[in-house]
Structure 1
Amino acid sequence: MKKLAFLIPAMLMLSCGGKNQQDESQITEDTLVKEEIVDTTPLFNSIASNFNSTDLLLPEGFTYTVLFREKHDLVTRADGQKFPAKGKHDLSVFIPSEDDPENKGILYISHETNEPHADLGDGGGATVMDIEKIDGHWKITSEFHHIDFGSVGFTDRNCGGSLGPNGNVFSCEETWGYDNEYFTKRGLKEYDFGNGRPMWQNMGYVVEVDPRERKVVKRHLTMGKLVHEDVAITADGKTCYITDDYDPGVFMKLEMEQANDFDHGQLYAYKQSEDGQSGEWLKLPMDTTSLANCRKIAVEMGATMIVRHEWIEEINGKYYISETGKDYMDWDASISRGGTIPYWVKNSLTDENGQMDDPFGRILEFDPSNNKMVSYLEGGMFSDSLGCFSNPDCNTSVSFGNKTYLVISEDINGYDRGRVDALAEEDRQYYNEVYFLDMSIENPTVEDLLRFAIAPKGAETTGVIFLPDGSMIMNVQHPSPRNPAPFNVSCTVLIEGFKK
């Protein structure tokens, strides 16, 4: 329901008597001050947990439409030849049309693939398509167009990323390759990058793509070789915040003197203060060999180690990072090399030698004004024991009315420890959920989460974005191949039902 209230100015609320007293008959409509209308109607009714579905489950009143399917849809190369689409759909980006940004644009979908592919290029990839709102519904209005990464050799596991202020997509390579065998044992060719460095030193960076021209701009070595999950670029184009999906990983930033001049940036690693109330940035060497080993160097310099950072989202000047956690890890070697333990997980240490257990993960909040990073929302079981918020991965934000929501997708690390129900655990089945969190809630807990979606068996959801009218784009990645169509392969879906 909506709440409407009126406030009477303080001067009218004086005690009886005295020359300032005002007769009620003198109070006119002009004297009343309207309070802002507060919409208390829930955005949707939170759905119950379900660990036995091969469909995409949504609240009542919401529908989905499949827009783009792995293998089912044909992708057109630059030479006009068509081939079945790659899978493992991950990042989604909407690039609005210049002439009609509310109703037309380009949809960019990345592929977190790492296999050889003679027709669409080895390793990762991306597909772009035109999308338009017609008769109140968003529809694909073009062929599915292939992005050729051949100009930079090839990419590996194109994961998250972002739309930069220059209008280009920044695609993150989430690769663990620290020797050539990591790539060649999967049948990938040992590519010569022509710079005298081994292949592995040229892989695992952030790659800039021009989605309108459907071409790759450059692989940015200045952002360092990491297990890149996401990158957030400030509106002025001068700072990139970079997440590292590794155990232990590091939180980094690239600073540039000129907007969008990534070739001349300086890379830094984050080090938290001992009391957790602030932090500093450690300046890293920028030669190519150091950039290929930037995490190791950062840890040796005392950088704060993190438990697998995933996606990062800016809301009102602060950054919200999914720290997905990990079961039973050992940081002893990294601590002995100089790495420091973050304040927010010190209680997770099981002994003084760096043994740690962090099964559920959390959402972190980073404030660049004072370099303070804290746990904003801890994962774990709901009080009714019927649900568990665990291992957050993709995140984004959206505003409806006067409320802003952080939208969080799970990618659970295991099917034990209450992350699914007993039957799904017995069957060794993964189920992931999507949650909304009202950002006006102070000190939120899992009880404040609204469960919006449950992915089909075996799938994670990722690439969640919102179109101008509030419709949602979401990728359903790597579902069980035993599911019935359409969710037996990776899909990009449109979800309608939100009221913007």
Structure 2
Amino acid sequence: MRRIRRMLVPAFAMALVFPAVLPAQAAPIRATVKSIEFEGMAAPASVKEMADQYSTASLKVTYSDGSVKTFPLSYNRLFKTTDSIGGTVAGVAIDHKGAPIIDNSVPANPTPYVSDSPDSNSLFQVPGMAPSALGGNALSLVTHYEYITFDNANQSAYGLIPASMSLTTLDQNKQTGELKPTELNKIDFSGVNGLWIPCNGSLSPWNTHLGSEEYDPDARAYEADPKATFISPFVQAYYQDKTKTGNPYDYGYIVEVKANADKSTQVAKHYSMGRFSHELTKIAPDGKTALFGDDGGNTMLFLYVADKAQDLSSGTLYAAKWVQKSAANGGSADLQWIKLGHGTDAELKVLVDKGLRFSDIFETSDKAAEGFTAIKTYPSGKIEYLKVKPGMEKAAAFLESRRYGAMLGATSEFNKMEGVTINEKDRKAYVAMSYVEKAMEKDAKGADPADDIQVDKISSGVTYELDLAGGAKDRDGSAIDSAYVPTFMSGLVVGEDLAKADALGNKAAVDKVANPDNLSYSESLRTLFIGEDSGMHVNNYLWAYNVDTHKLSRIMSVPAGAEATGLQFVEDLNGFSYIMSNFQHPGDELLLPDPLKIEVLAEINKSFENRKAGGVGYISGLPSMKQIVEAAPVIGDDNPTDKSLVDLRAKAAAAGAKLEWHGKNKDIVVTLGKHSLTTRVDSSTATIDGKKVNLPAATQFSKGKTYFSAAIWDQFIKL
């Protein structure tokens, strides 16, 4: 997600369900969770804070008895991209043989290229993997290294040097959940001609990593002039062969990585998922529906439905048409889906491998002409007049997905479409639009071939909410075989542009999200996490947005000029939860005024190898739901000295509860909703939902009334 020159939780109630009858030695009953929310942190104020990645936020849990427990959060760095782990430098660029690619721009100082730009993380556990070298649970972490910013001569190496991914083995401490890297290996992409600018990614429901190849190289421009794209220097560096020229149709796909118990990997590029500027793909719970981000200007919203669950090698690709309903706050629209075609990886790879060119797929015209369709899409960004050659519709659909989609009427006016995630319970998806401007604004000159999107400009961006539904049909009336088809799209979390930069240089409101990028969602916490890639904030932040209360909380800050990347919420992995988060290119394009800028940059240089290192890590301290429940107070423990009694029948009537005498066993039973309380006269214990509770004072009978512990009654009615 390279920039172009970018608590909480619900107030939800969780009812604990217990068996009707348990033995007397059963665990005591606990209060239930009433609400969970993130308590945010202030924006960094000191030089040290501005130059570092950190969190001082916390998670606040309120229980049914009114008690509150706070879980402080902190940031833990696993490694910098310049660190060597088990003998391998994390961010080193490698060629097709796995050897480091050397920067010879300064002949007297040959140095391996090392990325400063870590991106996507997938943290997961591979079944059958042996314990780590430290004896804890062995976890696997796939990480992207998106690009290299500079070579030895301080020239940008963006896109020129092959990118990479690593598979890191992490030790998970079984008692504390702390993560430590023990081994790191670079993933081999030689079987798919290398890896092109991997941006964000996600973990599939079947435990594979789904990577991406962003900013698809323009095959038309390459055919006209190979020097007009990065393709030739890219493949020459990857194969260490100056005679290589490359093929743009080798790149621009979703890449799937399977990690094995022996730490080996298998890699596949999914040609049938379409070729465009893949930010990432997110798979719906059905294991077959994929939603995408398409980064850049004049991009498109795509949908893919695989033929079989957990198999992305064949399926049907669709593109959306935006049918606008409103323009404010990012706008809103119905989404109409246009079928591009059905394809398989195998048949499309044959087309690529035989050296198919742009001119094999399309006829072109320099001006409007009969039979030619006018379009404007990324990566060209210019009006083009195209006609698909007979029999080349499949090649057009999957190798030139955006151009072909525009020819069929799909909307190609989105701008900087970034992260995507899914809220399964509410049947919602979320999509980050980092900058809502340019092609998303009304075409005032009326010069473009289409002007579907005409929303108000918000340079600090918008995170959109998409309604998901089953039973949808495409534009031609054919059924779409998915229960997760986006049907309506509207702005949800909206940035605020400042008319004038503040004293620190912020161009967007500092307490709102600016230029959203990474997204991840927690079902249990009912929280949408949003990471920034902003050129409008001095420091980029990670935010937590409660989809029920709409509370927005800042929970992490990254070094000034850096981008927050690699966001992944990991829930209850061996009893522990994590928020994975990286940063890349620290100190880039600092907005700060002098002399503060000079001080912050000096601190960044000292900490991050003169801005040549990015960081990979996670937010710790986040409890799993199991830990939250187990931390709940035990009923009867909070008021051991409160011996006051209340009229049980009167209290039951006031609460709307049912009270019964069971004369045979002399039990008094109170039923309130699905909860029950049982006691006996002169007894110092009671039973709540089948669990024994000690009473501060025994139940008593006097003048025709039963008197029961006030403290325990108060806790019972809060269940």
Residue of structure 2 aligned with 1:373, choices 485, 489, 494: 489
- Give the C-alpha shift of residue 279 in structure 1: 2.4
In the alignment, what sits opposite 2:195?
A: 155
In the alignment, what sits opposite 1:312?
A: 420
For the residue of structure 1 that corresponds to 2:406, the secondary structure is helix
In the alignment, what sits opposite 2:68?
A: none
CA distance in 2, matches of 1:409, 1:463: 9
In the alignment, what sits opposite 1:495?
A: 619
CA distance in 2, matches of 1:335, 1:114: 39
Map 1:136-147 → 2, pairs under 5 A: 136-147=176-187
For the residue of structure 2 that corresponds to 1:371, the secondary structure is strand
CA distance in 2, matches of 1:114, 1:200: 20
Residue of structure 2 aligned with 1:322, choices 406, 419, 432: 432
- Give the C-alpha shift of residue 104 in structure 1: 3.8
- Give the C-alpha shift of residue 38 in structure 1: 4.9
Residue of structure 2 aligned with 1:244, choices 294, 316, 322: 294
Residue of structure 2 aligned with 1:452, choices 538, 549, 555: 555
In the alignment, what sits opposite 1:473?
A: 580
- Give the C-alpha shift of residue 471 in structure 1: 2.6
Tell me, yes or no, if structure 1 residue 284 matches structure 2 residue 336.
no
Map 1:332-371 → 2, pairs under 5 A: 332=443, 338-342=449-453, 346-348=454-456, 357-369=457-469, 371=487
* Counterpart residue identity of residue 119, structure 2: D
Would the alpha carbon gap of residues 466 and 389 (structure 1) be closer, same or farther in structure 2, given more than 3 Å must change?
closer
Residue of structure 1 aligned with 2:76, choices 53, 65, 87: 65
Identify which range, 273-282 or 234-243, moves more after superposition. Answer: 273-282
CA distance in 2, matches of 1:452, 1:4: 20
CA distance in 2, matches of 1:395, 1:3: 21
- Give the C-alpha shift of residue 280 in structure 1: 2.0
In the alignment, what sits opposite 2:253?
A: 205
TM-score w.r.t. the length of structure 1 is 0.76
Contact (CA 8 Å) 1:328, 1:358: kept in 2 or not? no
Contact (CA 8 Å) 1:242, 1:251: kept in 2 or not? yes
In the alignment, what sits opposite 1:107?
A: 141
In the alignment, what sits opposite 2:566?
A: 463
Would the alpha carbon gap of residues 293 and 79 (structure 1) be closer, same or farther in structure 2, given more than 3 Å must change?
closer
Tell me, yes or no, if structure 1 residue 226 matches structure 2 residue 276.
yes
Q: Percent identity?
A: 22
For the residue of structure 1 that corresponds to 2:287, the secondary structure is coil
Contact (CA 8 Å) 2:116, 2:149: kept in 1 or not? no
CA distance in 2, matches of 1:80, 1:269: 37
Would the alpha carbon gap of residues 81 and 251 (structure 1) be closer, same or farther in structure 2, given more than 3 Å must change?
closer
In the alignment, what sits opposite 1:48?
A: 43
CA distance in 2, matches of 1:227, 1:396: 20
- Give the C-alpha shift of residue 499 in structure 1: 2.8
Would the alpha carbon gap of residues 331 and 205 (structure 1) be closer, same or farther in structure 2, given more than 3 Å must change?
farther
- Give the C-alpha shift of residue 325 in structure 1: 1.3
Would the alpha carbon gap of residues 3 and 107 (structure 1) be closer, same or farther in structure 2, given more than 3 Å must change?
closer
Contact (CA 8 Å) 1:91, 1:161: kept in 2 or not? yes
RMSD value, Cα? 3.8
Would the alpha carbon gap of residues 140 and 80 (structure 1) be closer, same or farther in structure 2, given more than 3 Å must change?
farther
CA distance in 2, matches of 1:4, 1:81: 52
Contact (CA 8 Å) 2:232, 2:246: kept in 1 or not? no
- Give the C-alpha shift of residue 55 in structure 1: 1.0
Contact (CA 8 Å) 1:299, 1:334: kept in 2 or not? no
Structure 1 stretches lacking a partner, 5+ long = 6-33, 349-356, 421-429
Contact (CA 8 Å) 2:139, 2:172: kept in 1 or not? no
* Counterpart residue identity of residue 54, structure 2: L
CA distance in 2, matches of 1:190, 1:41: 51
TM-score w.r.t. the length of structure 2 is 0.54
- Give the C-alpha shift of residue 98 in structure 1: 2.3
* Counterpart residue identity of residue 480, structure 1: G
For the residue of structure 1 that corresponds to 2:607, the secondary structure is coil
Residue of structure 2 aligned with 1:129, choices 168, 172, 193: 168
- Higher RCO structure, 1 or 2 (CA under 8 Å, sep 6+): 2
- Give the C-alpha shift of residue 166 in structure 1: 3.3
* Counterpart residue identity of residue 282, structure 1: I
CA distance in 2, matches of 1:381, 1:49: 20
Higher Rg of the two aligned structures = 2
For the residue of structure 2 that corresponds to 1:151, the secondary structure is helix
CA distance in 1, matches of 2:33, 2:206: 36
Would the alpha carbon gap of residues 64 and 198 (structure 1) be closer, same or farther in structure 2, given more than 3 Å must change?
closer
- Give the C-alpha shift of residue 142 in structure 1: 2.8
